[in-house]
Amino acid sequence: MLEKKDIVPEFLLNPKYRIYRHLLLQFIIFAITMSIFFIKPDEMIITSDRVYGWAGQFLSFNLVIYFNMYVLVPRLLLKNKLLIYLIAALLLVWVTIAEIVILQNYFWGSDDGNQIENPNSSALLGIISSTITIGLMLAGTTTVLLFKHWMNNSRRISMLESATLESELKFLKSQINPHFLFNMLNNANIMVKEDPEISSQILVKLEDMLRYQINDSIQDKVLLSADIHFLTKFLDLEKTRRDKFDFSIKQKEDMDNLEIPPLLFIPFVENAVKHNSDSENTSYVHICFLVKDKQLIFECENSKPKKPSQRKVGGLGLANIRRRLDLLYGNNYSLEIKDAETTYTVSLQLTL
C-alpha cells in the first residue's frame, strides 16, 4: 500500500495513471473555458453561438497546452534553451489570443441583443484576461512537467546508485574470476624458468588490470581509451594462455576524450572469450569501436566451436547488463545480438 508521501510521485510518474492525468487536465481546461457562458457570476447564457465559441476556445487551450508539453518543454526548456523557450512560449500565447479574438468576433460577441457599451475597452480587457489565463496555464503545466522531470531524475539516480553498488560487487567477484587468475598465475610460474621476461609481462598486465578494476572502475565515468586498454590486456593474457587464439581491437575514429561508464564492454568480451575455445581450429575475437552520428557503436564478434557451450554473459547475465544500460542510458541505446552458426556478434549503440 502506498504511503501518503508516495501518492503524488506515483500519480505523476506511473504510466498506468497516464489516462487519469490527461482527464484531470481536460477537466481543468473545461472548468476554465466554461466562463464563456457567464456574463456575470450569477447569470449564465447558453446559446448556439456561445457553444461554438466555447468549443473553439476549448480546442485552442488544448492546442497551446499540449504543444507546450510535448514540443516546447522537451525540445527547448529541458535542453537549457531558456531564452528561446520564453520567446516561443510568448509567440504561442499571442497566436492563441489571436484565435480567441477571431472566435469572439464570429461567435459569442454577437449574442442575441446583448450590446456592449464600450467594445474597445471590452476587447482590451478580454485580451488582457486571456493573456493572463493562458500564461498561467502554460506556467502551471510547465511547472508540473519540470517537477515530474526532477522526480524522474531523482528516482533514476537513486536506482542507478543502488544498481551500481550491486553491479560493482558482482564485477569484483566475477569479471576476472579466480579460475582466470589461477591460470594466469600458473602460466607465469611455468614461464619463470623458461622465459622470465614473458612471466614478468604476465604479472605486470595482471597487476594493471586489477588496479584498474578495483580503483579506477569506482568512478562514474572513465576515458574510453582506458577501458579499451583494459580489454587489450585481458585479450593479451588470454592469447598467452591459449595457442590457437587471435584477437583484434579497431578504433575507426578519434576517441581520446570520450568518456563512458567503466567496465561497460568487458562482460561481452569475457563472454566471447569464454565460449569460443576450440581445440581444433584457431578461435578469434574481433572488436570494433566507431563514432557515427553522435553515437558510439561497439561490436564484438567471436568464432564459435563446433560444439558451443551454453552462453551466460559475463557472469552477470544479459538481463542484468540490459538493466544497467537502462539505468545509464534510458532509451538512448540499442543492443542487438546475432547468434549465427559459426559466429556470435554483439552490437551496442550508445547515444553520446
Q: Does residue 325 fall inside a structural domain? A: yes
| Average pLDDT of the residues of the chain | 77
Q: From 136, 152, 151, select the one nearest 68 (Cα to Cα).
A: 136
What is the spatial distance between Cα 87 and Cα 318, in angstroms, rounded to a whole number?
46
- Averaged over 87-105, what is the pLDDT? 81
- Quote the domain boundaries for residue 198: 175-351
* Short-list 49, 170, 194, CA closest to 109: 49
pLDDT in tens, 35-63: 777 766 667 777 777 787 788 888 888 89
Write the DSSP string, 138-178: HHHHHHHHHHHHHHHHHHHHHHHHHHHHHHHHHHHHHTT-H
Give the pLDDT confidence score for residue 314 in this predicted structure.
45
In a domain, 164, yes or no: no
What are the pLDDT digits (tens) for 158-188? 777 777 666 655 554 454 455 556 666 676 6
- With a pLDDT cut of 70, the percent of the chain lying above it is 76
Q: Which amino acid is at 57?
A: Q
User: How many Å apart are CA 285 and CA 302, to the nearest integer?
Assistant: 4
d(CA 284, CA 249): 11
What does the pLDDT read at residue 299? 95
The Cβ of residue 50 has, within 10 Å, a number of other Cβ atoms equal to 19
pLDDT (average), residues 184-203: 71
Asked if residue 185 and residue 76 are part of one domain, the reply reads no
Please report whether residue 83 resides in a domain.
yes
Together in a domain, 241 and 343? yes
Residue at 250 is within a domain: yes
Per-residue pLDDT tens digits for 283-311: 899 999 998 888 899 999 999 887 655 55
Burial of 62: CB neighbours in 10 Å, binned 0-12, 13-18, 19+: middle
Whether 98 has a pLDDT exceeding 90, the answer reads: no
Residue 295 lies in a domain: yes
Q: Are residues 59 and 147 in the same domain?
A: yes
Q: What pLDDT is attached to residue 5? A: 54
59 vs 81: CA distance, rounded Å: 28
**According to the model, what pLDDT value does residue 275 have?**
78
Q: Which pLDDT score, from 0 to 100, does residue 126 have?
A: 60
Mean pLDDT of 346-352: 92
The domain tally of the chain equals 2
